[in-house]
Amino acid sequence: MKNDFEYLWTDKKRTLFGLPLSFTRYFLTTEKLITRKGFLTIEEDECEIYRVTDKKLKLPFFQRLFKCGTIIVTVKDVDTPVKELVSIKNPRAVMSLIDKQVNLQRDKYNIRGRDMVGTGHCFNEDNMDDGDEDM
């Protein structure tokens, strides 16, 4: 895993006293956000970074004591539409880095946020009336 991608950021889920004593690790590349969980059995979940539709920052008291926070990312993804980067160091800087990569990837693929919302169907009352006159 370590040599598969060039990472912009990586961190572990922090536990007691802000120490990285967890088997959950987060990776950010220029194109993907990857969550890796487990010790013996490893489960990886990745999403294309341009699919991020919303970000939320949670700063609970005990995480703030150790300069940690949780980023909740809403993604246009079938299996895990909400991804949580739980108890990571420097959450504001990471959130800014994610935002920068989202915008770079959307510019690369010429995608905007409005392209990611909804089912892709746009109904307008004016257009619906056109076919009703023949009935």
131 falls within a domain: no
pLDDT at 120 over 50: no
pLDDT of residue 3: 60
Amino acid (1-letter code) at residue 31: E
- Give the confidence band of 115 by pLDDT, cuts at 50, 70, 90: low
The predicted model scores a pTM of 0.79
CATH of residue 48: 2.30.29.30
Q: Looking at the domain assignment, is residue 126 inside a domain?
A: no
pLDDT in tens, 75-104: 998 899 999 999 999 999 999 999 999 999
CA distance 13 to 31: 21
pLDDT tens digits, 33-46: 999 999 999 999 99
Amino acid, res. 92: R
Note the pLDDT of residue 118: 59
Q: Which domain holds residue 72?
A: 9-110
Residue 4 lies in a domain: no
